Structure 1
Amino acid sequence: MAAPNNATLGDGTQVCLMPGGVPVTIQNKTSWESVGCLEGFFCQHNTDDNLPQYCPPLPECQDLRLSGVQCTPQGTFEPVLCDAGWYCPNNGTQRIECPSGSYCPHGVASPIKCSIGSRCPAGSQRNMNFLPMGILLLVDIILITATVMEKLRSRYKKSNFHNKRVSSRKAVLATGAGRFRNRQYQEIDEGNNGFNDDVENEYQMEPAIRGPLRVKTGFEQLGAQEADFMLHEELANDAGGQKTDLHLFVQSLSKCLGATKFGLTFEFQDLGFKPPKSNKKILDQVSGTIHAGSLWGVMGASGAGKSTFVNVLMGKTSHTGGITKVNGVAGNISKYKKIIGYVPQDDIVLPEMTVRENILHSARIRLPANWSNSEIEHHVDILVSCLQLSHVKDSLVGSPGAPVISGGQRKRVSIGMELAAAPMAVFLDEPTSGLDATAAASIMSTLKALSRLGMTIVTIIHQPRQEIFESLDSLVLLGQGRMIYCGPERGIQPHFQGLGFDFPDHTNPADVMGDIIAGEGRHYKPKGDASVQYLIDHWQRKQQDGSASENYAKTATISMGETNALSATIKQRGAPWFKQIYFCFQRSLVQQYRMKSSFYFELGVGAMAGFLIGLAELNQKGQNFRGIFNSPYDLLSTSIDYSSIPQMALLVGLAIGLTASAPGVKIFGEEKLVYWREAAAGHNRFAYYIGKVISTIPRMVLANFHFTTMFMLLSTPRIPYLSAFVANLLYFYCIYGLASIISMVTRREDGPLLAVMMSLIVGVLNGMSPSLKKVRSWHIIWIWRASPGTWLAEAYFTQNITPLKYLYQIDVAKTSVGYLLNMFGDDLLMLLAIGTIYRIVAFLGLRFMWRNKQR
């Protein structure tokens, strides 16, 4: 407070001065109380130790004060608030302009030094710090420069690659004419996709031409062999020359498996499955054996139980009846999932990653823990070459809606992700679905080669071409959840012909067989029973009399040494959890880096939100609180303003919620299918989640940096920049955690909208209106305290009004609104705790919801 020098008349008579300076004399010193004090005057004897006291102001002045505006002093002796831009030392007897490099808000007795990087000319009343803005501009310039440089480098590589391909094409054309004249036909390797790679487009098609003299590479070398593949003989015959990719891949498998037998044998007896809330059995009395080192097809009409059979066989679904064995050992098949690969019908791959990166991540997670990174990369490079993906290994996979590689290549990537783990058995669901004839044949050729390596390959297949059908070694035919046939492919036609069905000439046997097991057998058997039930009963009789076993070989005996080796192999599989965290973190960072548009959009939204909120607070000039003056000047107080700071915190919370909620949903909401596939393959669920969570920290820091810098520059509140930055960052942390929960319980399409709605709810529950004092009287304050918005508002309230305790009764303000003061550290800890609790809940949802999809 500032007060003019005191003055009295020489005879000690009390004096009050009107604004115009006209003296009014009171009769004597002792009678003033009975006379009363005239409005607008001070009527107490004033000394240096006894400052003037308040008299009711004039009506015009009272109106101004109730509006929060100062008025002209009501008499010479009325204390006034030191003006903003000035400071009033020596008990308010001096009024000095605020010097350069400092700022002076209302009522200060000494100037406050501005922070480094601030612009504070003489007479400044707020601290405008430009240092964070300068750092922000530098960061943005670096980000933009890195993006532009990457685009230029990418264009240069494409141009260089294009020129090399054109040169190669000209060379081929120059020599191709002579070959044509000499009738030495030779097709360009499929790995090069003909001349299609010369065309700069995103749709690389599968090759459609196959010449008679084409040199086979990779798996095709082995797929062409009709004899059984014997690993030790192949390696023994190696003369020491340069090994092919196939030999190198086989050696890598041998090192990983520790044995020359790569496959698993599956036996099932009277297998049955009935859903928990259904009386109808989907599988019933299904018996047979699937041998290692062979390519099996599972066929049947829709609803025949094909998918259920495969899921039960590989341990994704627990059977409700019968016995299953792996290599002759009964028990829980799910314990073998580290050495069993599963390729779903839809190609679940990450579109932001390249072909090689998708396969490499699977290898790093699932190969033995004692393998070095160089060994893993060598294994992956060999596999990529064998799968004929070398020419696209650095291409992004893309999404089905925006493909970068062809459908066949995408399918081979999906298969490669399983082969990278060196499985002993691979199950595939409709691997040729959606592919053209050439791509489908290529995929089946790859699977055939895998079976010749000794792996067990089981694929669900629907209406195959004749060549694909004949490439299968054996078949399992199902109808109405029962077995119709289990045995070699070559025995299918004789089996059905023995039942009276005709196979017309020049027809695809697979089509005829498909019609028969689908209940359309009357077209091929005019007389007699042609129903599916008849087929089921016939096969059951064959099993009972033992004649069905003639259609497939007896199960090989598994030695105890091989069983122990298999158990040791399973124990060695998989990187330790802390390495998996790093791999998932690294992959997620790459994904976010590749999705630059989404990342920059979030930064832009954060900056724009901070600018708008700061603009809304601009007129306050940093003076966003008015309370009751400290005694004895409390009656001089203007109208109080306790709501501006909670209102500012509300706007901050809403802006952060709108900025962070949608990106927070996207982190997990669009990858649940990937998570389910990886969890089913044995990935550590906790490592996957923690890796993703840690990867969001740089994103949150940058988005918060843009928001807080713009907001603080314009609003200039009393809270320090670093304190606001930390509080806002922790609120970002809470919103990302809340969005994670939303992504677990909703569909991907609904997640962003619901996350925005929830962020608005927790933002509004910040104790502004209704106030915490009011809520406490309702006995439901725990609801508000469970919201991060309340703790953010309390942190802002503490840091903004505590510096004003020299001027205002801040304890009265605290009581009025219900916030606690001097608890800034606790407020930040609670924001951290709430954000962490949100993530724990999200992880539990990720872990325990949709559990059947994670098996």
Structure 2
Amino acid sequence: MPVNCVAPKPEYESKAPGEGLSGKNEPSNAAVLAYPQTAETQSVIQLRVFPIALKFEEVVYKVKLESKGSCWGGTWHGKEKTILNGISGMVCPGEILAMLGPSGSGKTTLLTALGGRLNGKLSGKITYNGQPFSGVIKRRTGFVAQDDVLYPHLTVTETLMFTALLRLPKTLTWEEKAQHVEQVIIELGLTRCRNSMIGGPLFRGISGGEKKRVSIGQEMLINPSLLLLDEPTSGLDSTTAQRIITTVKRLADGGRTVVTTIHQPSSRLYHMFDKVVLLSEGSPIYYGPASAALDYFSSIGFATSMTVNPSDLLLDLANGIPPDRNGGDQGENMEKEQKLVRETLISAYEKNISTSLKAELCNLDVNSFSYIKDTPASKYKKYQFRGVVYKLVASVQGAISEGIEGAAL
């Protein structure tokens, strides 16, 4: 199955390894982000990005399980459980890769590994433009967690402004950072709630969909080349989910590499993805174009006689449920049937996809993508520390004010 991709033409000339956007060995803050240094305000989505081609080969992740031994000896014997089992794939700039699978299939674990955030016994090979994970890749990567971690007593504008002050380079003035915040608010449709508090368990604030857009906006501010999202539509209605994925699609169309986990997208959302990785208990059973998934499963004997949402069929197969299954045996017989279906799908993947995919990944040329040599960390941590302290003080003041108002009532 073809995985080759064509690198989008950068807005700057290709440089030799170790050179920045200007062709010189620039300091980290000048090389990390590409922001226009003009008075004109430019859309965040239209900002130029440094293209990153993400490739992962035979990724395996295991964890140790502690189990007590003899009740007399009190010894502990460690057993290993495989969470990810030989997953491979490729995502190019301008593409969205969706990871599908039932709960516990390893989607979030794989996403965390791709973001360089996974500790433990991880084997395989994950490269970014042919290079291993490094500080410069980390600074070009945006990660949106499933749970929105936001200060409840700050407004939407304050949250994004603090993010800009902490994460954007010092070369930008306060006014330029404020302009980028304004553009993010407009792009994400947060104008109506810009002066509303985020809210928390003790008092109401903005809606769940608006919180998710704020979380995405925090990553948009740094203009990431690689954007990773964990269940961005979880708990949202279909209209809000459509709006979120549409925004993500626009980010990808701007030359960014996007990887997202998603549990059960609607048919409209599914067709917005370029590639799909389908996981079943940590093992891949499909990798390739989203539009070709149904044809692939039909070719190996898992066709459906009715029109269905592609993601519904894929999730049924990942759970070991064949198409058009009408009830049937329950209990032990059902578990045996599901196990047999999963084993059949894994075997078909190894035969039809895995071998050719490995060969194409080995022969894939990533030299068309420039690469900036890793540079020292930011020299301006003291400014970040001041921002964190100021943000903490503002949050505490909000909590105290809320307590005083509650006592007065």
Name the TM-score class by shorter chain. 0.7 to 0.9
Equivalent in the alignment of 1:269: 57
Q: 2:285 aligns with which of 466, 477, 484?
A: 484
Equivalent in the alignment of 2:343: 533
Q: Which runs of 5+ in 1 are unaligned?
A: 1-227, 234-242, 255-260, 605-855
1:460: Cα distance to partner?
0.7
Does residue 391 of structure 2 align to residue 587 of structure 1? Answer: yes
Work out the CA distance in 1 between the residues paired with 2:338 and 2:153: 57
- Amino acid paired to 1:512: L
Equivalent in the alignment of 2:225: 424
- Amino acid paired to 1:532: R
> Could you give the per-residue CA deviations for residues 256-275 of structure 1, whole angstroms, max 9, x where no partner exists?
xxxxx444222112111111
Work out the CA distance in 2 between the residues paired with 1:489 and 1:292: 17
1:437: Cα distance to partner?
0.9
1:529: Cα distance to partner?
9.6
Work out the CA distance in 2 between the residues paired with 1:504 and 1:266: 36
Contact 1:364–1:575 (Cα < 8 Å) also in 2: no
Equivalent in the alignment of 1:557: 366
> Could you give the per-residue CA deviations for residues 473-527 of structure 1, whole angstroms, max 9, x where no partner exists?
1111111211111111011111111111123433212111110111112636999
Work out the CA distance in 2 between the residues paired with 1:293 and 1:323: 22
Relative to 1, partners in 2 of residues 1:559 and 1:342: Cα closer, same or farther, differing over 3 Å? same
Query: Residues 79-90 of structure 1 correspond to what in structure 2 (within 5 A)?
Result: none
Higher relative contact order (CA 8 A, sep 6+): 2
Contact 2:273–2:290 (Cα < 8 Å) also in 1: yes
Work out the CA distance in 2 between the residues paired with 1:528 and 1:457: 32
Contact 1:503–1:524 (Cα < 8 Å) also in 2: no
Work out the CA distance in 2 between the residues paired with 1:401 and 1:501: 49
Work out the CA distance in 2 between the residues paired with 1:452 and 1:353: 32
Equivalent in the alignment of 1:360: 161
CA RMSD of superposed structures (Å): 3.3
- Amino acid paired to 2:347: D
Does residue 57 of structure 2 align to residue 248 of structure 1? Answer: no
Larger strand fraction of residues: 2
Q: Which runs of 5+ in 2 are unaligned?
A: 1-6, 13-38, 66-78, 329-336
1:543: Cα distance to partner?
4.2
Contact 2:286–2:353 (Cα < 8 Å) also in 1: no
Query: Residues 62-141 of structure 1 correspond to what in structure 2 (within 5 A)?
Result: none
Larger helix fraction of residues: 1
Query: Residues 686-701 of structure 1 correspond to what in structure 2 (within 5 A)?
Result: none
- Amino acid paired to 1:266: L
Q: 1:596 aligns with which of 389, 400, 403?
A: 400
Query: Residues 159-174 of structure 1 correspond to what in structure 2 (within 5 A)?
Result: none
Work out the CA distance in 1 between the residues paired with 2:215 and 2:380: 24
SS in 1 for 2:222: coil
Q: 1:450 aligns with which of 251, 258, 263?
A: 251
Contact 2:278–2:284 (Cα < 8 Å) also in 1: yes
- Amino acid paired to 1:539: Y
Relative to 1, partners in 2 of residues 1:575 and 1:446: Cα closer, same or farther, differing over 3 Å? farther
Contact 2:135–2:374 (Cα < 8 Å) also in 1: no
SS in 2 for 1:584: helix
Equivalent in the alignment of 1:577: 381
Relative to 1, partners in 2 of residues 1:412 and 1:250: Cα closer, same or farther, differing over 3 Å? closer
Q: Which has the larger radius of gyration?
A: 1
SS in 2 for 1:531: helix
Contact 1:263–1:455 (Cα < 8 Å) also in 2: yes
- Amino acid paired to 1:563: Y
Does residue 128 of structure 2 align to residue 321 of structure 1? Answer: no
Equivalent in the alignment of 2:72: none
Query: Residues 325-404 of structure 1 correspond to what in structure 2 (within 5 A)?
Result: 325-329=127-131, 331-332=132-133, 336-399=137-200, 402-404=203-205
Contact 1:543–1:549 (Cα < 8 Å) also in 2: no
1:308: Cα distance to partner?
1.1
Q: 1:408 aligns with which of 186, 189, 209?
A: 209
- Amino acid paired to 1:430: E
Work out the CA distance in 2 between the residues paired with 1:401 and 1:497: 51
> Could you give the per-residue CA deviations for residues 315-359 of structure 1, whole angstroms, max 9, x where no partner exists?
111452111111111x34566322211111111111111111111
Work out the CA distance in 2 between the residues paired with 1:289 and 1:452: 17
Equivalent in the alignment of 1:305: 106
Work out the CA distance in 2 between the residues paired with 1:461 and 1:327: 25
Work out the CA distance in 2 between the residues paired with 1:289 and 1:523: 32
Does residue 312 of structure 2 align to residue 511 of structure 1? Answer: yes
1:595: Cα distance to partner?
2.1
Work out the CA distance in 2 between the residues paired with 1:229 and 1:403: 44
1:297: Cα distance to partner?
0.6
Percent of residue pairs bearing the same amino acid type? 29
1:450: Cα distance to partner?
0.7
> Could you give the per-residue CA deviations for residues 115-156 of structure 1, whole angstroms, max 9, x where no partner exists?
xxxxxxxxxxxxxxxxxxxxxxxxxxxxxxxxxxxxxxxxxx
Q: TM-score, normalised by structure 1?
A: 0.38
Contact 1:262–1:453 (Cα < 8 Å) also in 2: no
- Amino acid paired to 1:490: S
SS in 1 for 2:108: helix
Contact 2:58–2:88 (Cα < 8 Å) also in 1: yes
SS in 2 for 1:519: coil
Contact 1:397–1:405 (Cα < 8 Å) also in 2: yes
